[in-house]
Structure 1
């Protein structure tokens, strides 16, 4: 699946900008396990212009936990070429030998990382991404037209990049693919759908992964609360014959209950979005073969 543009849209949501590089430097702290596109995060403790400076600073560093050191230059990072394995092992050994503490290469309590990036060396704590979304691929209840877990997770992040104090709603939640991803990341989100069977399926999917979350039967028009963000995967399949008027009604109802809306749609609906009173602030296309979905961010 071509998710390059979706990755960039998620990056802009998290950090406020994107980068053509495969590495990004930011003061915004994001758990890499939240994103299906992040491999790891290095929380920098100190930097230096050369490796000897890093080794000197490491010799003054005390680790109260068992540790190992990993050189992260196993691939090309931005304009910095990869380092060959013997060189990486040598760097790891030189730094590991001078850190005051107990090394454990098999089951360390903390993983320190060192990386050369555009002429500067950085040392810090590595937080590796866990592909939690992969475990959600096998749900008890599934739809063939439902979003993939990767896309659903990215869409949840785009809608709610920083969850603290944010309330969200998925008013056409279907089988709950977005709900599962969002709730697993600690996003405060509720679900809703007009189909009682899919509401039941949503609740069972959440329960299957040990997640809690409210799923209510009813149309978006009946929502009385307001939310900081909403996610709408526009209903479509052989059994859902929604009219243009029906889609516009959903968008107008969304405008009433939220100030931020992320829409997933298989057909252009810019004119409806604007007619409902939203402004499009960002977007991308996620492709799977010849099948395309638009992800549109509105405020």
Structure 2
């Protein structure tokens, strides 16, 4: 069975969200910025994964790696070898530039093929973690979410595209066969991230203005997705997953009743629901019959949102 080595990068205030995403993808998390798992995840899905190495060989030294690699033939494909030790990884110190280049060259010379440092057909990676050296085919992540920041319709309380992308991954770690709905979609930040990952998702909101904004944002990025007008209470279809960013600033009794209605409706229409809230809602979830299976807090300065994965 192939194992994959993932390298990570995150800001201190993103640690909790990153680790919750790890748990969704891999069933475990780590305090280190490297994780090894048999689970294969496309690196560009995550705003935190830097690269994925499909481990082909591992050894106690670069010299032993070279012996294992003898006989690799790429026929007419070009290749490049990249060291991932350009940052400290898993307690292993960053390598100096000269050491990285020398190691890349040493390993590249054992491969039968045509090297290409600019546009290779295959990229191989090498990395030292503690006392072990790993080598394999490398896929580097792309910050797809960055481009989505420049959307035509903005909303002051909308989630950031980076956070929205991580939330989609937490809610829908495995895409195949899943039907997803965002019944309080606002201007479509979650919709854009989900659709850009190939996740079939329906958007919905009771506010005509924001549903129009959602459609404009989706079209702006060349994506296709349905956005419906109406409250969650009117949804009749059943979905595998719902992602709900709850309304803010709830103070009155009538507002609390409205929130309970949203949560109860979510229980009716979806098997699994990811809630994002600025208000405590454990009591609402209990009344609706939900069980919280994972949770964290996303912070931006003094402002925090709680993330609750419920089934």
TM-score band (shorter)? Answer: over 0.9
Q: Secondary structure at the match of 1:126?
A: strand
Give the CA deviation at 1:211: 0.7
Q: Hey, what does 1:12 align to over in structure 2?
A: 23
**C-alpha distance in 2 between matches for 1:190 and 1:97:** 51
Partner Cα distance (1:289, 1:116) in 2: 35
Q: How many angstroms apart in 2 are the aligned matches of 1:233 and 1:70?
A: 40
**Per-residue Cα deviation, 1:154-205 (whole angstroms, up to 9, x for no partner):** 1111100111111110000010000000010111110100011111111111
Aligned equivalent of 1:119: 131
Q: For residue 202 of structure 2, what is the aligned residue in structure 1?
A: 190
Residue segments in structure 2 that go unaligned for 5+ positions in a row:
1-10
* Greater RCO (CA < 8 Å, at least 6 residues apart): 1
What corresponds to 2:36 in structure 1?
Answer: 25
Q: Is 1:295 aligned to residue 307 of structure 2?
A: yes
Quote the Cα distance in structure 2 between the aligned partners of 1:205 and 1:237: 26
2:146 aligned with 1:134: yes
Q: Distance in 2 between matches of 1:175 and 1:237?
A: 18
2:45 pairs, out of 34, 37, 45, with: 34
Are 1:145 and 1:237, in contact at CA under 8 Å, matched by a contact in 2? no
Inter-partner Cα distance in structure 2 for 1:81 and 1:59? 28
| Correspondence for 1:54 | 65
1:77 is paired with a residue whose SS is: coil
**Are 1:94 and 2:101 an aligned pair?**
no
Query: Distance in 2 between the 1:4 and 1:80 partners?
Result: 20
Cα distance in 2, alignment partners of residues 25 and 264 from structure 1: 29
1:235–1:242 contact (8 Å) kept in structure 2: no
Displacement of 1:295 in angstroms is 0.6
Structure 1 Cα separation of the partners of residues 198 and 254 of structure 2? 32
State the Cα RMSD in Å. Answer: 1.5
TM superposition score normalised by structure 1: 0.96
Flag structure 1 segments of 5+ consecutive residues without an equivalent.
none
Q: Which is strand-richer, 1 or 2?
A: 2
Question: 1:223: which partner in 2?
Answer: 235
- More displaced 10-residue stretch of structure 1: 195-204 or 22-31: 195-204
Aligned residues between the structures: 297
